[in-house]
Amino acid sequence: MSRPERVYRVLLLAYPREFRRDYGPQMEQAFGDLYRQACERGRRRGIGLLWALTISDLARTAVEQRIMPCADHEEVAMYDRRLAVVGSLLLLALLYFVSASLLKYGLGIGILFDPLEVFLSASGRRVVFNLVSPFVFLGGLRLALALNTYAVARERKKRRKDAREYRQAQAEVVEHRGRRREHPVISDAVRVRVPRKLHLPSIVSRALYSLAGPTYIRRGASG
Amino acid sequence: MRGLREPRDLLPLTPAVLNILLAIADEERHGYAIMREVEERTGGKTRLGPGTLYGSIKRMLADGLIEESDERPDPALDDQRRRYYKITDFGRLVAGAEAKRLSALVETARARKLLPGRGRTLPEGV
């Protein structure tokens, strides 16, 4: 194996483990073929172009492969996105009220507070900030947390289901020409990511993920 | 789920997916052969990187557009690690539907004088 091929093998670590397991050897082989072809065509320019193509391709597709498992189920992704929008709006509203109050009464800056005068009279603002906002704050916070907890629970349930399907699919994998090959009928189940046990950091990261929302919704066969 | 799918559900195809389907429409090919075919057919204008190729293949296998081939065209001359891919009947339907869609776009472009009429060629540089 030549040095560029070894470098490419290291670069493949950017892809998820499952993807590397299924396609890593083929990608290495394809890169090796491309490298030999580039050497034959014109040494420096050809190799430079090959590396440029490879790096840009790798940067784009590695990110894509890492995001894709999150958007494998379109309906879930769409639902989660709506959930994320509601959660984000709630948190933004809270953030606005808290920031406006702190800036106005703490630092005397009314950049966020003063625009409320257009909508609310002085007495109205008093009611909002003294009576309503604590309830909005606490209620919104609880609701946002509940939504996030719900999103995490859904994710957990989905992963359990995926794990079950994955184990079933693995049991049905057929041996073909001395290597493991996915049965075409069960390939849908096989491509899901192997679930990991939930732990606190991942719960927090998924809660944040539910706020940011899955933005990649698969539309047909993607490239 | 896959059995209930209509070809139009997968449209529009990405350029990579369409090029791969075209590359294996007439014969089975392995990954590198698909890259070569696409590059040669497009005169070097489209080059698929390994990540794009195998990312697309992964999705196409899942969507039932292609499948791994059981046969090897010439086992004696071939590396055993290579996997060959062939288009499925569903893949043909989807590729056909995409070709029809693109053809309709071309006809629209012709009707609006963005392209010359049938039998005429584009001027140099277009």
Closest listed residue to residue B57, CA positions, set A67, A143, A189, A187: A187
Contact B21, B66 (CB under 8 A): yes
Taking CB atoms and an 8 Å limit, are A25 and B81 in contact across chains?
yes
Q: What is the 3-state secondary structure (H, E, C) of chain B?
A: CHHHCCHHHHCCCCHHHHHHHHHCCCCCEEHHHHHHHHHHHCCCCCCCCHHHHHHHHHHHHHHCCEEECCCCCCHHHCCCCCCEEEECHHHHHHHHHHHHHHHHHHHHHHHCCCCCCCCCCCCCCC
Q: What is the pLDDT of residue B97?
A: 95
Helix (H, G, I), strand (E, B) or coil at A28: helix
Q: What is the pLDDT of residue A205?
A: 56
For residue A176, CA distances in Å to A123, A127, A187, B27, B71 come to 78, 73, 15, 21, 11
How far, in Å, CA of A143 to CA of A88, rounded?
A: 11
Segment (H or E) for A175: strand A174-176
Q: What is the pLDDT of residue B92?
A: 95
**pLDDT one-digit tens code per residue, A165-216:** 777 776 776 555 455 454 544 444 444 444 444 455 555 556 555 555 444 4
Other C-beta atoms within 10 Å of B48: how many? Answer: 27
Contact A154, A203 (CB under 8 A): no
Which chain A residue is nearest to residue B13, measuring alpha carbons? A221
Contact B55, A61 (CB under 8 A): yes
**pLDDT one-digit tens code per residue, A43-52:** 777 888 888 8
Contact B49, A58 (CB under 8 A): yes
- For the cut 60, the answer to whether the pLDDT of residue A70 exceeds it is no
- For the cut 50, the answer to whether the pLDDT of residue A82 exceeds it is yes
**pLDDT one-digit tens code per residue, A15-67:** 988 899 999 999 999 999 999 888 887 777 788 888 888 988 988 888 888 77
Q: What is the pLDDT of residue A213?
A: 47
What does the block give as tokens for B56? 């697309």
ipTM of the prediction greater than 0.85, yes or no = no
Q: Which of B68, B71, B85 to mutate to test the interface with A (most CBs of A within 10 A)?
A: B68
Nearest to B83 among A26, A34, A61 (CB): A26
Chain A residues touching B61 at Cβ < 8 A: 182, 184, 187
Predicted confidence band at B29 (pLDDT cuts at 50, 70, 90)?
Answer: very high
Most confident of B32-36, B68-72, B75-79: B32-36
Predicted confidence band at A158 (pLDDT cuts at 50, 70, 90)?
Answer: confident
User: Residue holding tokens 């409320």?
Assistant: A116
Map out the domains of chain A as residue ranges. 3-69, 74-212
Taking CB atoms and an 8 Å limit, are B49 and A54 in contact across chains?
yes
Residues 37-96 of B with CB under 8 A from A: 47, 49-65, 67-68, 70, 79-83, 94
**pLDDT one-digit tens code per residue, A100-148:** 777 877 778 777 777 777 777 777 777 776 776 667 667 767 777 777 7
Domains of chain B: 8-111 (1.10.10.10)
pTM of the model: 0.56
Closest listed residue to residue A85, CA positions, set A144, A127, A172, A135: A144
Of A80-84, A180-184, B57-61, the least confident: A180-184
How far, in Å, CA of A39 to CA of A36, rounded?
A: 5
Residue B40 burial by CB count (10 A; 0-12/13-18/19+): exposed, middle or buried?
exposed
Q: What is the pLDDT of residue A220?
A: 43
Taking CB atoms and an 8 Å limit, are A27 and B51 in contact across chains?
yes
From the CA atom positions of chain B, what is the Rg in Å?
17
Contact B38, B20 (CB under 8 A): yes
Q: What is the pLDDT of residue B93?
A: 95
Find the distance separating the first CA and the last CA of chain B, reported in whole Å: 43
Q: Which residues pair with B87 in a beta bridge?
A: B66
